[in-house]
Amino acid sequence: MKDVTELAINKKNLLIRTLSGLILGPAVVFSFFSLPTSIGLVTSIILITALEYFEMTLKNFKYEFKVFLSIMMALTSAVYGFSLRAYYSGLVIFDPITIYLISIILVSGFSLIYLKNTNKYKIVIESYTFGLILISLFLSYFYHIILNYGATTGILVLTTVWIYDAGAYFVGLNIGKHKLSPNYSPKKSIEGLIGGIVLTYLYIIFYEYIRSQFNLNIINQFQAIFFAILVGIVDTIGDLTESSFKRTFNLKDSGETLPGHGGMYDRIDGLLYLTPSFYFLMKIFGI
């Protein structure tokens, strides 16, 4: 009886996830075709994710203060994105990464005045700095990818996570026997990991074939193996990291932003790690 009920719940969740993906997916993909809309999309995602993150890490702080920190984190990414374009164009000479240092300084100064409590201040700065790097800076590597390799490469990075998650989910659901991490993510299996990587590899090959028709392909079949493995590894790391967060703070989901998916953080946990990793692997291959 329990298995039947669980199966029914899984089917319902799958339907909700599919419908929400069909609605939101195209809008997200088309946002990547210009840098301003990409910045708008990334900034919006960071804002929502940051608020979920602070709801976990700064649970006993005022909601308005957590909103302020989330806005600062999102604005930092937006300013970084436009500054990066100016930097690549030769219009500015300072390294845009300094914007993140300025963000930490501004939040530190404001928090010191607002909180008037050394212990709370330390907690806030540690939480903000870690979140700024993990959420805002890591996700902002989409700007580097789009500026260096074009919008279609940005879309490739985004969609490989979707493909991997789908492959890992279906393979794990049907033939998954060996648990990948029983303590932190009991539903993930080694079979799901392998299935997700294989499907991701096939997807990259197909995607690059389509791009080759427009002379836009940049990843060959050999390199695609490493990119597919990278997706599987960092997506799993991202999921396990977030699972440890939720377990620490006794939460099932990071939020309820996306129907069938939980919170925004639940949806992009792997993407946070993949975006900079994908960019640096491109550099390693000399692409």
* pLDDT tens string 131-144: 999 999 999 999 99
pLDDT in tens, 18-68: 555 556 667 777 788 888 999 999 999 999 999 999 999 999 999 999 999
Specify the pLDDT at position 26. 77
Residue 178 falls in which region: left (phi positive, over 0), alpha (psi -120 to 50) or beta = beta
| Rounded (10°) CA dihedral 217, 219, 224, 230 | -120
Specify the pLDDT at position 23. 60
Whether 264 contacts 254, CB under 8 Å: yes
Dist. CA 66–CA 40, nearest whole Å: 21
Dist. CA 190–CA 248, nearest whole Å: 24
Dist. CA 119–CA 154, nearest whole Å: 41
**259 burial class (0-12, 13-18, 19+ CB within 10 angstroms)?**
middle
Task: For the chain, give the mean pLDDT.
Answer: 87
Which SS3 state, helix, strand or coil, does residue 179 take? strand
| Helices and strands of the chain, counted as H and E runs | 11, 2
pTM above 0.95, yes or no: no
pLDDT in tens, 170-212: 888 888 777 877 776 777 888 999 999 999 999 999 999 999 9
φ, ψ dihedrals at 186, nearest 5°: -65, -20
Specify the pLDDT at position 45. 94
Specify the pLDDT at position 11. 54
Beta partners for residue 235, in sequence order: none
Domain ranges across the chain: 1-33+151-287, 35-149
Say which residue, 17 or 121, is predicted with more confidence.
121
Q: What percent of the chain is modeled with pLDDT above 90?
A: 63
pLDDT band at 2 (very low <50, low <70, confident <90, very high): very low
Whether 200 contacts 164, CB under 8 Å: yes
Which residues fall within 8 angstroms of residue 280, CB to CB, at 6 or more apart?
none
Exposure b/e, 89-107, CB count within 10 A at least 16 = b: eeeeeeebeebbeebbeeb
- Which has the closest alpha carbon to 268: 96, 97, 99, 141? 141
